[in-house]
Amino acid sequence: MEECIRLLDEPINCDDAIDYTKENIFESKLYQQEPFDTIIDLSCGGWLQLIEQNRNSNNLSSIVKPASMGGRYITFTPDTPSFEGSMSVMLRMFLIIPLWRSFYSRIFKRKSLPAFTQAMGLPDTRDIMTKTLQLAYDGTLIPVIDGPYPMTTDGIRKAFRKVKSRHAKGKVVVKISDL
| Domain range enclosing 146 | 126-175
Bridge partners (DSSP) listed for residue 36: 64
List, for residues 36-82, the tens digit of each pLDDT value.
Answer: 888 888 776 678 888 877 777 665 678 889 999 999 988 887 777 66
Are 77 and 130 part of one and the same domain?
no
Q: What is the pLDDT of residue 150?
A: 94
Model pLDDT for residues 9-36, shown as the tens digit of each residue: 777 777 777 777 788 888 888 888 888 8
In the chain, how many domains are there? 2
CB 5, CB 17: distance < 8 Å: yes
Question: 118, 135, 153: which is the final residue of a domain?
Answer: 118
The Cβ of residue 75 has, within 10 Å, a number of other Cβ atoms equal to 21
pLDDT tens digits, one per residue of 153-169: 999 999 999 888 877 77
Rg (CA), the chain: 19
Backbone angles phi, psi at 163, to 5 degrees: -65, -45
C-beta of residue 162 within 8 angstroms of C-beta of residue 171: no
